[in-house]
Structure 1
Amino acid sequence: MASDPRASRSPRGAQVIDRAAQVLSCVLGADDPISFTAVVEQTGLSRSTASRLLQALEHNALLDRDADGKYRGGAMFTQFAARFDREESLSAVAGSTLQRLSEETGEASHLAVPSGGKVVQVAQVDSTYLLGSGNWVDIEVPPHCSALGKVLYAYDAIPLPTGRLERRASRTLTSRSALLADLETIREAGFAVAHDELEDGLDALASPVFGPGGTIIAAVGISGPTLRLEPDHARLGALLVREAETLSRSLQRQAPPLSLEH
């Protein structure tokens, strides 16, 4: 009688899964993002095996790498954790995005979410310049003069304001009609600009982040002195669109069955 070919494959398959679980436990159990060398040392696996497993786990959104190439939990864990702590999980998965934006522009980068009809900034990476914008985490500002807020308006994440809008700086949009026209421009371009609108001498740009189902869940942006940002709005806006799209795909990705090679 012919033997079941699955029987000969099962021990090896179980061994691969065990090793993948070992690597995953090592990374998730670390207090901070962990290097490839540390994974090899702590698991006792060969460098080639550890490399293949790490690549497969990253490909399937179970692990992610930060700007230093170190490993941490990926978007799949973030999606699961979002059921319990949305802001913390979003901040974790967006960390590498914010770091890249700050490194590439030198400016402060931000993550904001809609909450109760307001804009809540939940994470920031500071500017590398001596002259930069301050820390905006947990500071409430009127959405109509914030690039992050205007993005959330444009994609219906928060309700539009009614009546006359508060003037905060020389270029603040103070009428609903002016705001609506700006929101249309934002939807066409994929990013928002706040140019001397919250405070004179301060510029900001932001782009939307979409979660599963294509629903906007956050906005990412940068801010800094008008003198540095104004001449470069187009390039910075395109950069934000690319980074926001990459982050959105990470959040939306549905992992295929785990495929690991020994």
Structure 2
Amino acid sequence: MTTTKKYKAPAAEKMLDILELMAKENKYFSVTELSQRLSISSNSVFRIMKELEDKKFIQKNPLDSSYQLTGKLYYLGSSIGNRIALKNIAEASMLLLRDYTRETTLLTKLGSLGRTLVVDQLESLEPIKFLSTVGLEYPSHTSAMGKCLLAFSPPSVLEQYLEHNELTPVTSSSIAHPSRLKEQLEQIRETGYATDMEESCEGLRCLGAPIFNAVGEIEGAIGISGPIFRMSKDHMNRYNKKLLEQARHISELLGYDASRKA
């Protein structure tokens, strides 16, 4: 015990305690709450949070100066991402889709506050391609996969997303009003897939389909992204059939039974 204590690093221990607590609860934390719950002085918590914010491990809510984790911890852990069940199960389908379309194929899950978290990616086989970053969180309302995640999540997820994320248009095609987003999410629930028609980036088109788990809940979304000159509407229609087929296959591997859906 004496040897162990000799090499303890109190500041590092406090930082890890803060990160573990924030990882357990998907919400914003104030400095005061962290101080009280972890019995760490407010001054120490403030200094630690400032360092974590500078390193992009946390983000601040400008309305009340509270904090929540970003996706950076996931990015650091992506080297052991093969332990993630969804990634393992979806691997063969992602490879099939990438080889069939020759476009970048992405696997995503719901991130913090309704944002979209990139879990895995297979690069396009073409020289000109769209690339994302594993561990990146991005706005859900501008992407096909993000809209799938919002469409099939409980209503509270959309409410949380609209509360904490402004529908800032990225391009002239971006959704900029909550009513328009809700209309499109309803359409996605009816068709079972989503599109991104240059809503997240000029010249980029994407398709997204939901993945469900054994209890019928949204587990993630899989998608295809490519430049508009290769993603014509005819190509997208053809790719979408294969995408939906593979999304269903992954869902079934996770134990989802569509016949039990009410």
Write the letter of the residue equivalent to 2:167. L
Are 1:195 and 1:230, in contact at CA under 8 Å, matched by a contact in 2? no
Look up the match of 1:249.
252
Q: Within the alignment, does 1:236 sit opposite 2:246 as a pair?
A: no
Per-residue CA deviations over 1:102-128 (Å, capped at 9, x if unaligned) read 011000001001133321111011101
Look up the match of 1:100.
96
Question: What displacement does 1:213 show?
Answer: 1.0
Q: Which has the higher contact order (CA 8 A, sep 6+)?
A: 1
Q: Distance in 2 between matches of 1:106 and 1:125?
A: 10
Among 210, 213, 219, the residue aligned to 2:212: 210
TM-score by length of 1: 0.61
Are 2:82 and 2:88, in contact at CA under 8 Å, matched by a contact in 1? no
Q: Within the alignment, does 1:129 sit opposite 2:126 as a pair?
A: yes
Q: Distance in 2 between matches of 1:202 and 1:212?
A: 33
Write the letter of the residue equivalent to 2:206. A
Q: Distance in 2 between matches of 1:121 and 1:202?
A: 17
Q: Distance in 1 between matches of 2:249 and 2:131?
A: 26
Q: Distance in 1 between matches of 2:162 and 2:251?
A: 30
Look up the match of 1:73.
none
Q: Distance in 1 between matches of 2:130 and 2:221?
A: 18
Are 1:212 and 1:251, in contact at CA under 8 Å, matched by a contact in 2? yes
Are 1:87 and 1:113, in contact at CA under 8 Å, matched by a contact in 2? no
SS at match of 2:231: helix
Question: What displacement does 1:87 show?
Answer: 7.1
The number of residue pairs the alignment matches comes to 170
SS at match of 1:214: coil
Alignment of 1:144-159 (within 5 A): 144-156=141-153, 158-159=157-158
Q: Distance in 1 between matches of 2:204 and 2:251?
A: 27
Look up the match of 1:162.
162
Change (3 A) 1:151 1:87: farther
Write the letter of the residue equivalent to 2:204. L
Q: Distance in 1 between matches of 2:256 and 2:150?
A: 25
Q: Distance in 2 between matches of 1:140 and 1:115?
A: 7
Alignment of 1:60-71 (within 5 A): none
Look up the match of 2:86.
90
Q: Distance in 1 between matches of 2:210 and 2:162?
A: 23
SS at match of 1:213: coil
TM-score by length of 2: 0.61
Question: What displacement does 1:86 show?
Answer: 9.7
Are 1:87 and 1:122, in contact at CA under 8 Å, matched by a contact in 2? no
Per-residue CA deviations over 1:123-162 (Å, capped at 9, x if unaligned) read 0111010111013322222110011110001001643433
Alignment of 1:1-262 (within 5 A): 88-117=84-113, 118-156=115-153, 158-160=157-159, 161-162=161-162, 165-231=167-233, 232-252=235-255
Write the letter of the residue equivalent to 2:231. L
Q: Distance in 2 between matches of 1:152 and 1:253?
A: 16
Q: Distance in 2 between matches of 1:87 and 1:206?
A: 24
SS at match of 1:166: coil
Q: Distance in 1 between matches of 2:228 and 2:146?
A: 18
SS at match of 2:215: helix
Write the letter of the residue equivalent to 1:134. L
| Higher Rg of the two aligned structures | 1
Per-residue CA deviations over 1:63-116 (Å, capped at 9, x if unaligned) read xxxxxxxxxxxxxxxxxxxxxx89722111111011011011000001001133
Q: CA RMSD in A?
A: 2.0
Change (3 A) 1:204 1:253: closer
